[in-house]
Every structure is written in structure tokens, then in C-alpha cells.
């Protein structure tokens, strides 16, 4: 399955050319920093998506970001869903987030980076995706110039979580360098990618999203109707450039 179906963001006019940022940041979401984050609103990513991005599904207060999915039509879709992205693009370094997902078949909760044709760049991407029909697993993937792995089989791989992501917060991290991507779950290395054709090279924005589908059932399962608002909760998110160490105490870079 080409996961870009659900992850390529249609970007609004005025943020199509990203600035390149290389300063470390740690966001604990006491509020939603509008200078850092742009919230998608008013469109969906294709016919496969059964929800419309909506600003009312992205909120931050009291130290928690909530990226939601809720009943209630918007545009031509039955549901509203949430996505946000950084306004600037980040290059090599360590990307981290501590989050908890809802559960439910036909939903995708994602923490990922992306850049693409909307910004005049090739499609590069690095993913953590939880298909919430099974919250005991997370999928990791990269895309390079629009191709996953070797372009035939793909670079997707599933990993067992230490506990279901809807039961408690899990910390996800990856370190991206010119010749490798290392994925971590709760500080434990779970995957190393070092084949050059699987390593992105273009600076990317950081995304969080929660969306659903009625059609991608082979990949995400039959959609279970959502009758009340649900959300992915993000406790914090952070970036540390490749040449810096231990920028904040929660980072994997601060481990012995």
C-alpha cells in the first residue's frame, strides 16, 4: 500500500515555500504556538479519506495537544478530522513525540515528516503510523522521491509496542542522518535503515494527523462508525539538530 494516499498534505496558499529551521525546539503544548504550527482546514487528501481537515479538531491547552476525529459533516465528508504541520522544514536530526492514540478500525494516527511537490521539492517522508484497529503495533516507513524502499516492495515495517497505544503514552523518536534513519520506541532502538535508496535528503515539515477511510480496508480495516469525538493526545514534541546533544531531559539523546 502506498501510504502517501493518506499522508500527503495539501498545503494552503501562503505557506507553500518552507523556511529551513535548524534550531532545537521542545513544545509542551501549554498553548498552540501559531508561529510554529499550521492547522489544516477545509480540504481532504483524496476520495479515500472520509473526513475533512478542520481547525476545531486541533487544540492545545494545559500541556496537551489533541488531534481529533469527530462526527459532523464538513464539506462533502461525514466526519471532521485533525492535522497540523510545522511552518518550517527541518533537516537531519532527532525527531521525538510522546503520544497516546484512540482505538478504532479504519483510523490512522500518525507522527511523521513530509516534503513534496507542493513546496517545489521531491516527495520525501519519514513515518510512524498507528493503524488503530490494532494499537499494539506501529508501522515505520520512509519515502525517497515518491518511492518507498526499492519502489517495488516498500520499506514499511511493523513493530510491536510495549503496550497498546490507547492504554498509555508511548514515546516515538527517529534520528535522521545523511546515511541512516534509526527508529526508537520508548528509548529502545527498533529499526535501523541504512540502504541509501531509503534515506531521504530533503528538509521536511513535522506533522501529526488522525484520519479515517471507508475504502482502504485491506490496509486500515473496515471503518467502525465514530459516534462521539475522539482524539490522539500529544504530550510533547521536539526536534534536535544532528550536531547537538541532550537539548531537553526527555530526549533519547540524554540517555546513557
Residues 174-185: b if buried by 16+ CB within 10 A, e if exposed: bbbeeeebbbbb
DSSP state of 40: -
Using CA atoms, how far apart are residues 164 and 132, in angstroms rounded to an integer?
A: 10
Which residue reads 465528508 in cell numbers? Answer: 77
Question: Which of 23, 83, 96, 125 is the catalytic position?
Answer: 125
Distances (CA, A) of 98 to 24, 104, 121, 134, 195: 17, 20, 29, 18, 28
The answer to whether residue 83 is catalytic is no
Contact 26, 248 (CB under 8 A): yes
The answer to whether residue 249 is catalytic is no
Question: Which of 129, 152, 222, 249 is the catalytic position?
Answer: 129
Task: Give the total residue count for the chain.
Answer: 256
Catalytic residues: 125, 129
Amino acid at each position: 500500500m502506498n501510504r502517501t494516499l493518506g499522508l500527503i498534505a495539501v498545503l494552503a496558499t501562503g505557506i507553500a515555500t518552507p523556511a529551513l529551521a535548524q534550531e532545537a525546539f521542545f513544545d509542551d503544548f501549554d498553548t498552540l504556538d501559531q508561529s510554529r504550527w499550521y492547522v489544516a482546514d477545509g480540504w481532504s487528501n483524496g476520495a479515500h479519506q472520509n473526513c475533512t481537515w478542520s481547525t476545531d479538531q486541533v487544540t492545545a491547552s494545559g500541556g496537551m495537544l489533541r488531534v481529533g476525529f469527530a462526527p459532523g459533516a464538513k464539506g462533502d465528508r461525514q466526519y471532521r478530522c485533525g492535522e497540523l504541520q510545522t511552518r518550517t522544514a527541518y533537516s537531519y536530526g532527532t525527531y521525538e513525540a510522546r503520544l497516546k492514540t484512540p482505538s478504532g478500525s479504519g483510523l490512522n494516527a500518525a507522527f511523521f515528516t513530509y516534503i513534496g511537490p507542493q513546496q517545489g521539492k521531491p516527495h520525501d517522508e519519514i513515518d510512524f503510523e498507528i493503524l488503530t484497529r490494532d494499537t499494539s503495533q506501529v508501522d515505520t516507513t520512509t519515502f525517497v522521491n515518491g518511492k518507498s524502499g526499492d519502489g517495488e516492495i516498500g520499506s514499511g515495517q511493523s513493530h510491536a509496542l510495549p503496550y497498546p497505544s490507547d492504554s498509555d503514552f508511548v514515546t516515538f523518536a527517529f534520528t535522521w542522518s545523511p546515511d541512516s534513519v534509526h527508529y526508537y520506541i520508548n528509548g529502545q532502538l527498533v529499526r535501523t535503515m541504512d540502504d541509501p535508496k531509503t534515506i531521504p535528503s530533503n528538509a521536511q515539515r513535522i506533522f501529526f494527523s488522525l484520519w479515517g477511510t471507508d475504502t482502504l480496508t485491506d490496509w486500515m480495516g473496515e471503518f467502525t462508525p465514530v459516534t462521539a469525538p475522539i482524539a490522539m493526545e500529544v504530550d510533547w514534541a521536539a526536534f534536535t539538530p544532528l550536531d547537538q546533544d541532550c537539548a531537553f531531559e526527555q530526549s533519547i539523546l540524554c540517555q546513557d
